[in-house]
A and B are shown apart, each in its own frame.
Chain A
Amino acid sequence: MRKRLAGQQRRQVIPIKLKGRTISRGCAKGEVLLSRDPISFLGSIDPKTGVVIEENHALEGKSIQGKVLVFPHGKGSTVGSYVMYQLKKNGVAPVAIVNMETEPIVAVGAIISEIPLVDMLERNPYEVLNNGDLVLVNGSKGYIELIKQETNKTEHD
């Protein structure tokens, strides 16, 4: 924490552990990628590359491969669950997911794809997490842990 950002005192204490609700079991570590927009896995993400292709989406052009993907909730077609499975089989899925509140399409998709998923954290993830932070998601026990903060941030989010 050499370059602490002004006015970000809440980031002083690490590691931060936040309790949430178990949706999909398993445990994984990765870099945070935040999306303010909901995600429809069918149509928004290329199942071959893991790149967000929905026009004007907050993550348009970015890859979700290997990330701890943080988004409010899913949207769109129920086929989205299967697209998550395809992403996993193609090796381009996120390693874990954190939602504000998961809906069934993403819940089912995460479970069949064995992607750990925790939602309803005790604090708003958008106030605690930044892109690039290293986070552990423990889906089995229902918590996330901030292991290392991204230090080269110039902007929150």
Chain B
Amino acid sequence: MYLTKEEEQILNGEAGETLRQAIEILVALGDIYGADRLIPIKSAQIAGVSYKTMGDAGLEWISDLQGRVKVPAILNPAGMDLQDWKRLGISPDFAEKQKLIIQAYEKLGIQCECTCTPYTLEGFDVGYGDHLAWSESSAVSYANSVLGARTNREGGPSALSAALLGKTANYGFHLDENRVPELSISVEYPLKGSDFGALGYVAGKIAGSKVPVFHLRNTPKTDELKALGAAMAASGAVALYHVEGVTPEICRVDFEAPTEKVTIERSQLDEVYECLNKACKEPELITIGCPHCSAAELEKAAELLEGKTVSKEFWIFTSRELAKRYPEYIRTIEKSGAKVVCDTCMVVSPATNRYSCVMVNSGKALAYVPGMCGAEAVYGSMEACVEEALGGTAKKAGDSN
């Protein structure tokens, strides 16, 4: 791998120990994946934030680092709402450790906004062809696929190294040849809302780590693309997908059609919804906002909940910046008894582990909640989630069918 004279000096320790280690990580990964050089990045998004996943091991490493990031960098969701952690019953010990992790990142000049949807924030605008070093799998998928930017799925230390150097190694999804569709997926019926999360849940298992191109009957909204990509990155390892006639890269680049073709039937999506009727228990906790709710999703939740009162625990996750930007939606939602929670999510917060059955409207959460939270997960649209939270009727309605 070619290094400039300045990069060689950093690798020799002339810019200090933290940068030496940072460039050593990028060079090692570059060698493993056959990169030719380091390239500048526009921003970084760093995983390894929740104390639930990092533990003391991660806390120790972060705390020992010195330095300052060179590009805008923000964090993945933490294990709790950083301002109101008591509300979801987080223990003081956990909160203490979680705060230490955040402080350690802050010391490095990282913005302590913890979200899986950095592309919705001020100062994190992403353009077509921009090179990034992002970690969170759904954000990586969104940046690559919906925005036409270029990022690999970085691990926590490699994203942090990239932020400290303002560079990443040139391999994987930074290169044209790895962005070509490898699998064609046809869906021959119209989809809406949560169908996209269900489709992603099914398609991710089929695609594995391949780049799929979808042929859909109708044009998805951006939130629907977000749900599709998030689910595929969780049930599979899809970091880039195309939608014919919709996503920017396939509209500009004349890709050859892949030889491998599959069709996903309506019945395969129905099976994802079926888990609600097959669940051993009724959902005790209802959660939406995986990935974090957009403004449009907050607006819809507020509309559905306006003037009503929930009878079950109902958590709605979003970024702190959006919660601040739309206080009227938050007020309406909270008035119903549902809780708007920032900085965290149902997957990375230990709060979810207290429940045995959780209802979600996210294919990603459906894939992760059982393993990460030890709870059964069931799936429904946002409307079905709200209905379940209000009266627990979703399952009963399903039973009578």
B-contacting residues of A (Cβ < 8 Å)? 21-25, 47, 78-79, 81-83, 85-86, 89, 102-105, 107-108, 111-112
Chain B nearest CB from A49 CB (Å) reads 14
Interface residues on B, range: 20 to 34
A-contacting residues of B (Cβ < 8 Å)? 21, 24-25, 28-29, 31-32, 47-48, 53-58, 60-61, 155-158
Q: With A81-B155, A82-B48, A82-B61 given, can you name 12 additional A-B contacts, CB distance below 8 Å?
A: A23-B32, A47-B57, A78-B156, A79-B48, A79-B57, A79-B58, A85-B60, A86-B57, A102-B28, A103-B32, A112-B21, A112-B25
Contact: B57 with A21, CB < 8 Å? Answer: no
Specify which of B28, B54, B55, B56 is in contact with A111 (CB 8 Å cutoff): B28
Q: With A21-B31, A25-B24 in contact, do A112 and B61 touch (Cβ < 8 Å)? A: yes
Residues of B close to A83: CB separation below 8 A: 57
Residues of A close to B158: CB separation below 8 A: 104, 108
Residues of A close to B54: CB separation below 8 A: 79, 82
Residues of A close to B48: CB separation below 8 A: 78-79, 82
Residues of A close to B32: CB separation below 8 A: 23, 102-104, 107
How many contacts A-B (CB < 8 Å)? 64
Residues of B close to A23: CB separation below 8 A: 28, 31-32
Contact: A111 with B58, CB < 8 Å? Answer: no
Cross-chain pairs A/B with CB under 8 angstroms, 14 sampled? A21-B31, A23-B28, A23-B31, A79-B53, A79-B58, A81-B157, A82-B58, A108-B28, A108-B29, A108-B158, A111-B24, A111-B25, A111-B28, A112-B25
**Measured between alpha carbons, how far is A83 from B58 in the docked complex, in Å?**
8
**Measured between alpha carbons, how far is A78 from B76 in the docked complex, in Å?**
15
Residues of B close to A21: CB separation below 8 A: 31
Query: Which residue on B lies nearest to A103, using beta carbons?
Result: B32
Contact: B57 with A108, CB < 8 Å? Answer: no
What are the 3 A-B residue pairs with the smallest beta carbon separation, nearest first?
A82-B57, A86-B57, A82-B58
**Measured between alpha carbons, how far is A83 from B48 in the docked complex, in Å?**
13
**Measured between alpha carbons, how far is A55 from B57 in the docked complex, in Å?**
22
**Measured between alpha carbons, how far is A89 from B24 in the docked complex, in Å?**
20
Residues of B close to A22: CB separation below 8 A: 28, 31
Query: Which residue on A lies nearest to B17, using beta carbons?
Result: A114
Query: Which residue on A lies nearest to B157, using beta carbons?
Result: A108
Contact: B58 with A108, CB < 8 Å? Answer: no
Query: Which residue on B lies nearest to A114, using beta carbons?
Result: B21
